Each structure stands twice: as structure tokens, then as C-alpha cells.
Amino acid sequence: MTITLTVNGVSYTRDAAENKTLLHFLREDLGLTGTKEGCGMGECGACTVFLNGRTVNSCCVLAVEADGAVIETIEGEAGPAGLSEIQKAFDRNHAVQCGFCTPGMILSVKELLKAKPKPTVEEIKEAIEGNFCRCTGYEQIVEAVLDVTGRGSGKGRLDHV
């Protein structure tokens, strides 16, 4: 089936097998391999992407379901000026070890910050509950989010926690 969708602001028209997941379509047909496949069952969150403004597990979406959709992946996160604020905070706080969970983790954090610019630690933990990290123990990831939101106020302190 021929589908047309927008990924990171670029429109693509491609033939997609009807049983192909959006995840495999992004990786194999568009060459966007930043989105990872972990469990393939909607549990680990490594394949998280934005679909029409909301995060979804792209392993649980068919490519053909995304016909007409607007998709954002980790490849769209850094701008011409370099890494995004969330990416820089992950870097500063050692929130990346093997890096496999990071693309999904960053997009889940992005969705959280759209709704709650000043999340509490509990809200951060809840926002990333669908993203498994087997390296960091999560602490550095939570610290990275506090870092970026603390700086967002211009105070450079984490007094909103």
C-alpha cells in the first residue's frame, strides 16, 4: 500500500508492506535508525516516536496506519545549532551509557516537558516508566531532566522539586 507521511518535517511517499511496523518502516525504508527496537511488544519504549504530537511505541503501530500522519523521531531533535537542551542535559549529567534507550527516553521527556515545564521527581519518574534503561539506574536521567527544567527558569537551581 502506498503511504504518505511527514517525518521530521520531510514528506515521504513510499510503498509499505501491510504487515510492516512503523518502527521497521522508519529504520529500513527511510534509513532513520535512531529509533531502536528493544522488546518489539510495547514494553521497553526504545522505539518511542511522536505520532501526531503524542508519543507511541512505533513497534505497535503499522506503517500503513501512519498514512497521513506527522512523525517526529530522535533524528529531528537536534537543530542546525546543535543538540537540543534536553540532549545537552543528558550529556552533562551522564544520562547516557550504552545509549540504546536514549532516543526513546529523550522523546518521552520531551512529551513530559510540553505538558509540565516544571515536573517534580515523581512526575519525571512516571513520564519515563515506559522507557527501560538497563545501564544508568535512572538517577542520572532524572537529574538531567531536573537540570534542563531548572535552567529553564533562568535560576540555574533545582528549587522547584
Partner 1 sequence: MVHEFQYRAPRARSELLAFLAEHGTSAKVLAGGTDLLPNIRMGIAKPAFVVDCKRLPDANRLVFSPSEGLRIGHGVTVSAILQDKTVRENYPLLAEAAHELASHQVRNRATVAGNVVNASPCSDMALPLLCLDAVAVLASAAGERTVGFREFFTGPKATVMKPGEFLAEIRVPPESAGRKGRYAKLKRVKGHDLGIVGVMLASAPDGLRAAVSSASPTPVLVTGIGAGLDAEAVNDLVQKAIKPIDDVRCTAEYRRFMVGAYIRRLLPEVAR
Look-up of cell digits 515523581: 122
State in angstroms the smallest separation of the CB of 42 from partner 1: 5
Look-up of cell digits 498514512: 67
Distance CA 129, CA 61 (A): 20
Interface with partner 1 by CB under 8 A: which residues?
Answer: 1, 17-21, 40-43, 45, 48, 51, 54-57, 59-62, 64-65, 67, 108, 111, 125-127, 129-131
State in angstroms the smallest separation of the CB of 67 from partner 1: 8
**Cβ proximity to partner 1, 120 vs 153, nearer residue:** 120
State in angstroms the smallest separation of the CB of 119 from partner 1: 13
The 10 Å Cβ neighbour count of residue 12 is 15
**74: DSSP letter:** G
**Cβ proximity to partner 1, 80 vs 138, nearer residue:** 138
**Cβ proximity to partner 1, 59 vs 145, nearer residue:** 59
**Cβ proximity to partner 1, 47 vs 95, nearer residue:** 47
Q: Which residue pairs from 79-87 have beta carbons closer than 8 angstroms and sit at least 24 positions apart in sequence?
A: 85/148, 85/151, 85/152, 86/110, 86/113, 86/144, 86/145, 86/148
